[in-house]
Structure 1
Amino acid sequence: RAVLSQVLQKLGKTMETKDEQFEVCVQSLNKQQGDGNRLFKDVKAYHAAVKAMHDTSKRLSQTLREVYEPEWNGVEDFAVITESEDLLWNDYEEKLSDQIVRTMENYTSQFPEVKVT
Structure 2
Amino acid sequence: MEFPSDLKYHKEHTWAKIEGEVAIIGITDYAQDQLGEVLFVDLPEVGDTITQGEPFGSIESAKVSSDLYAPVSGEIIEVNEALDDEPELVNNSPYEDGWIIKVKVSDPAEEGNLLSSSDYEKSLE
TM-score, structure 1 normalization: 0.21
Q: Which has the higher helix share?
A: 1
Structure with more strand by fraction:
2
Q: Rg larger in 1 or in 2?
A: 1
**TM-score normalised to the size of structure 2?**
0.20
Q: Which has the higher contact order (CA 8 A, sep 6+)?
A: 1
